[in-house]
């Protein structure tokens, strides 16, 4: 008698091989993705007071608005104005050009490290535009575009990436680990996943104070294997925290495919077990991202609690300036992603409706490119990577405690003595 690899006769057992998932395609393989079976008219908006089970189809399907021909269709169409659409396009183009210039500066030794959002520009930008200005943002390193929506200038962002005297975190974070107090953009955390449960705590504090504030946070597919992800879901479910919990499934956690993070190919349905309404949304569809986030914010505002969202996308570029994706996946794989490019899709939608032209697109790109170049020239007036000036070493001890504890004061005094010798 045999069952699942066991030889049951005489107590002998066959060795069961250890299952270690592998990426479907590796360098040298042909790239391919199954064509999407989901369409913009498939799913209706549920009521704001819906329960988790009522969103099963939303979690196993895909919320889309833009079809393959650039038409905005279905119940989820947010019917944004032409000016709102153009602003969203401008923010996305700005982020892509900013990223491209910063990566070139890293390659020429002007920055120590950098991370792009290539192919994912629409996520933070569309979602932040759907929020109120007083809502809290707990990002990962691929949501810098939210800062453009909240009004941060590029000079300040570049100063942070350089780590000069105008770096608002004073050299205490890696480049691209932004924080922007004025925009309620909480500091990006290097230990991935920590922001998820923290966001729920801040959301609960807002609810306790009876404030009209919602918190949004993101986590990657790889980091969703961390305990912080599940703590956050449970905390949000129990206390009905006004929070939007996003899992960005871009298929890769550095060089690790998402199938290492989950035994299922669906991240959205995980939240159903916690009693939270769940959605899977096309992460390269600006309108779908905006609409789902707007719905989730209204649900939170009305006191019905959290929403869990899987954002289905593909990381088109490298994980960071230290990464070479050609070593672990086909170099052109992103070109085959069924969701396409978020900038091209919104641009094509505007052109299709006679609200935009290729000439205007080129002019916008040229204008923003000059803005980035000018911003870098302004930023290095406050110090460059090679020569400084840099933030004072005193900042190691400041801005943590209201009064510096005695043991840190001793270390600080010792450092000052060493510094003057």
Inside any domain, residue 255 = yes
Tens digit of each residue's pLDDT (9 = 90 or more) over 2-11? 445 445 555 5
- Nearest Cα residue to 101 out of 157, 177, 163, 166: 157
What SS3 class is residue 245?
A: strand
In degrees and rounded to multiples of 5, residue 384 shows phi and psi of -115, 175
Inside any domain, residue 23 = no
> Of the listed 231, 328, 382, 390, which one is catalytic?
328
**Does the annotation mark 6 as catalytic?**
no
**Does the annotation mark 328 as catalytic?**
yes
What are the beta bridge partners of residue 282? 312
- pLDDT value at position 1? 44
Q: Which residues of the chain have pLDDT under 70?
A: 1-13, 421
Which CATH number fits the domain that encloses residue 172?
A: 3.40.50.970
- pLDDT value at position 10? 53
Inside any domain, residue 7 = no
- pLDDT value at position 202? 98
Structural domain including 404 reads 49-321+330-414
User: How far is the C-alpha of 390 from the C-alpha of 387, rounded, in Å?
Assistant: 8
> Of the listed 150, 177, 315, 334, which one is catalytic?
315
Inside any domain, residue 213 = yes
**Does the annotation mark 319 as catalytic?**
yes
Tens digit of each residue's pLDDT (9 = 90 or more) over 223-269? 999 999 999 999 999 999 999 999 999 999 999 999 999 999 999 99
> Of the listed 96, 319, 329, 334, which one is catalytic?
319
Tens digit of each residue's pLDDT (9 = 90 or more) over 53-111? 999 999 999 999 999 999 999 999 999 999 999 999 999 999 999 999 999 999 999 99
Q: Looking at the 3D structure of the chain, how many domains does it have?
A: 1
Inside any domain, residue 153 = yes
| Contact assessment for residue 134 and residue 212, using Cβ atoms and an 8 Å cutoff | yes
Inside any domain, residue 20 = no
- pLDDT value at position 12? 58
User: How far is the C-alpha of 66 from the C-alpha of 31, rounded, in Å?
Assistant: 24
């Amino acid at each position: 008698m045999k069952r699942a690899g066991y030889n049951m006769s005489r107590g002998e057992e066959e060795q069961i091989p250890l299952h270690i998932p592998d990426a479907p395609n590796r360098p040298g393989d042909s790239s391919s993705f199954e064509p999407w079976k989901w369409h913009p008219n498939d799913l209706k908006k549920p009521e704001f007071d819906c329960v988790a089970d009522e969103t099963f189809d939303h979690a196993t399907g895909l919320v889309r608005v833009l079809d393959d021909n650039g038409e905005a269709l279905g119940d989820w169409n947010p019917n944004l104005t032409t000016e709102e659409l153009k602003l969203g396009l401008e923010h996305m183009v700005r982020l892509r050009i900013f990223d491209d210039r910063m990566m070139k500066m890293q390659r020429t030794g002007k920055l120590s490290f950098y991370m792009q959002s290539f192919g994912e520009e629409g996520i933070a930008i569309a979602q932040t535009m759907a929020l109120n200005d007083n809502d809290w943002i707990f990002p990962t390193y691929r949501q810098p575009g939210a800062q453009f929506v909240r009004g941060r200038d590029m000079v300040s962002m570049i100063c942070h990436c350089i780590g000069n005297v105008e770096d608002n975190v004073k050299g205490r974070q890696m480049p691209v680990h932004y924080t922007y107090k004025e925009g309620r953009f909480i500091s990006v955390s290097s230990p991935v996943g920590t922001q998820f449960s923290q966001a729920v705590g801040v959301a609960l504090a807002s609810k306790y104070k009876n404030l009209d504030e919602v918190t949004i946070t993101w986590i990657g597919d790889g980091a969703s294997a961390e305990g912080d992800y599940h703590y956050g879901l449970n905390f949000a479910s129990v206390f009905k925290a006004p929070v939007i919990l996003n899992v960005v499934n871009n298929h890769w956690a550095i060089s690790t495919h998402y199938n290492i993070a989950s035994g299922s190919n669906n991240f959205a349905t995980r939240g159903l077990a916690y009693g939270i309404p769940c959605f899977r949304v096309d992460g390269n569809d600006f309108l779908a991202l905006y609409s789902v986030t707007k719905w989730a914010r209204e649900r939170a505002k009305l006191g019905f609690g959290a929403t869990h969202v899987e954002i289905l996308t593909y990381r088109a570029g490298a994980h960071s300036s230290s990464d070479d994706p050609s070593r672990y996946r086909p170099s052109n794989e992103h070109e085959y992603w069924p969701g396409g490019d978020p900038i091209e899709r919104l641009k094509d939608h505007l052109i299709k409706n006679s609200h935009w032209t290729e000439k205007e697109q080129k002019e916008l790109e040229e204008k923003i490119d000059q803005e980035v170049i000018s911003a870098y020239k302004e930023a290095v007036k406050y110090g460059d990577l090679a020569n400084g000036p840099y933030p004072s070493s005193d900042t190691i001890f400041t801005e943590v405690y209201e009064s510096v504890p005695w043991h840190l004061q001793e270390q600080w005094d010792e450092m000052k003595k060493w510094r003057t010798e």
